[in-house]
Amino acid sequence: MGAERQGTYRQEDTYFNVPKGRLKLRRVEGEKTSKLVYYEREDKQEPKTSDVIIVETDKPETLKAILQRSLGTKVTITKTREIYLYQGTQIHLDNLEDLGTFIEFERKVSSLPEDRRVLEGLMKTLGIKQEDLLRRSYSDIKLDRKL
């Protein structure tokens, strides 16, 4: 396809209990800072938009301790993520401990109808069918499998 490889990253996402949306602290092996990510996204089996707020911290252990004590840890996801860039879309090849392998597309929305067409084109090129799409997040899938 001609996608440009961005790198391979070992990530740990710690999700916290929140009444609305999802809140996670992302630590990337070898990086000095971590990201606290809050996002809201509908649980539906189609390409979806996310409303995201991100703050970077150089004190991830302190922040994690505060969030664990005040909110409680929901679940931790550990993965190796290989990232490619293709025509403005990040393609994530994810290998998750305990869950398996997945592919994820991430694209900043500029024109929702056009962006949706681009993602649907990528799905067609890579042989991904609508019924292959996940409805929920990795954290939800891991929690379901623990039950």
115-124 pLDDT, tens digit each: 888 899 999 9
Q: How many residues does the chain have?
A: 147
> What pLDDT is attached to residue 96?
96
> What pLDDT is attached to residue 116?
87
Percent of the chain with pLDDT strictly greater than 70: 99
* Total-model pTM: 0.89
- At 87, is the secondary structure helix, strand, or coil? coil
Identify whether the C-beta of residue 102 lies closer than 8 Å to the C-beta of residue 134.
yes
pLDDT exceeds 60 at position 147: no
- CATH number assigned to the domain with residue range 4-146, chosen from the 4 options 3.30.1280.10, 1.20.58.220, 2.40.320.10, 1.10.10.10: 2.40.320.10
3-47 pLDDT, tens digit each: 999 999 999 999 999 999 999 999 999 999 999 999 999 888 878
Alpha helices, DSSP H only, in 23-77? 60-70
Backbone phi, psi, residue 62, to 5°: -65, -45
> What pLDDT is attached to residue 101?
96
Q: How confident is the model at residue 114 (pLDDT cuts 50, 70, 90)?
A: confident
Domain locations in the chain as residue ranges: 4-146
Which one, of 27, 140, 14, lies nearest residue 81 by Cα? 27
Cβ density class 53-63: b for 16+ within 10 Å, e for less: eeeeeeebeee
> What pLDDT is attached to residue 93?
97
More confident site: 136 or 75: 75
pLDDT exceeds 80 at position 132: yes
53-102 pLDDT, tens digit each: 999 999 999 999 999 999 999 999 999 999 999 989 999 999 999 899 99
Beta-carbon contacts of 28 under 8 Å, excluding residues fewer than 6 positions away, are: 9, 10, 11, 34
> What pLDDT is attached to residue 38?
98
Dihedral of alpha carbons 77, 78, 80, 84, sign: positive
